[in-house]
Every structure is written in C-alpha cells, then in structure tokens.
Structure 1
Amino acid sequence: MAKECFVCKKSVVSGNNVTHSNKHNKRVWKPNLQKVKIVLDGTPQRVNVCTRCLRSGKVERA
C-alpha cells in the first residue's frame, strides 16, 4: 500500500533528473510524512500526515 497524507492525499510523485547534457534518469519525490496521533470523531487515531498539513493546523493532535 502506498503511503499518502491522510488530510490532503499527497503521495509519491515521479519524474526525471535531467543533466546539463540532457540525460534523463528516473527519480521520485516523496512527501515528508509523519506518523502522528490525531483526534478523529472524538477518538485518537494514528495516521500519516504531511508536515505541510501539520504546520497549517489542518489536524488536531491528540
């Protein structure tokens, strides 16, 4: 199962490294996910949340 942010559904993105001589190599960009305890429907639950959502206050930590 691929990891993604519980709030914004941010996940792995793929693309290319491109050198000065225009050689292309596959690479991936991974989101900065943290496993945190949040309050969901009044109960604490452990989920993966990206740091952008944590910083902007989109989740309430338990």
Structure 2
Amino acid sequence: MARRCDICGKGPMFGHTISHAHNVSRRVFYPNVHKVRVIENGKVVRKKVCTKCLKAGKVQKA
C-alpha cells in the first residue's frame, strides 16, 4: 500500500531521530492518510486522502 495522498500527492518524508546524546539515526515521517469513499464524476470511488485535504474540503465525501 503506497502511503501517498491521491489528491495532493503528499508522501513519506525522511529525517532523523536525535537522542539527548545527539546519536542520529534515520527515520520516516508518514502522512496521515485515510481510505475515504469519494464522489468523482458522479461515481463513488475509494481513494487514499490525507487529513489535511479532508479538512480543507478538497474532497466531497460520499
């Protein structure tokens, strides 16, 4: 399952976890993606949409 928003294209971002002793290791920040039933061209379709797009009203839920 691709962790990518079908509306805005937001995907995983990479960074570091840094401990108090400044030990650095790689980590991944995943977007908050939900499977939502969406109305698209008069039909109901399932899409993966990030919560930022849902809150902004970029999608009409079925």
State the TM-score, normalized to the length of structure 1: 0.89
Q: Give the structure 2 partner of residue 32 of structure 1.
A: 32
* Residues 1:51 and 2:17 aligned together: no
Q: What is the distance in 2 between the residues matched to 1:2 and 1:26?
A: 20
RMSD of aligned alpha carbons: 1.2
Long gaps (5+) in structure 2:
none
Matched letter for residue 49 of structure 2: V
State the TM-score, normalized to the length of structure 2: 0.89
Matched letter for residue 31 of structure 1: P
Long gaps (5+) in structure 1:
none
Matched letter for residue 31 of structure 2: P
Q: Give the structure 2 partner of residue 13 of structure 1.
A: 13
Matched letter for residue 33 of structure 1: V
Identity %: 39
Q: What is the distance in 2 between the residues matched to 1:26 and 1:5?
A: 23
CA contact (8 A) 2:3 2:30 kept: no
Q: What is the distance in 1 between the residues matched to 2:2 and 2:30?
A: 11
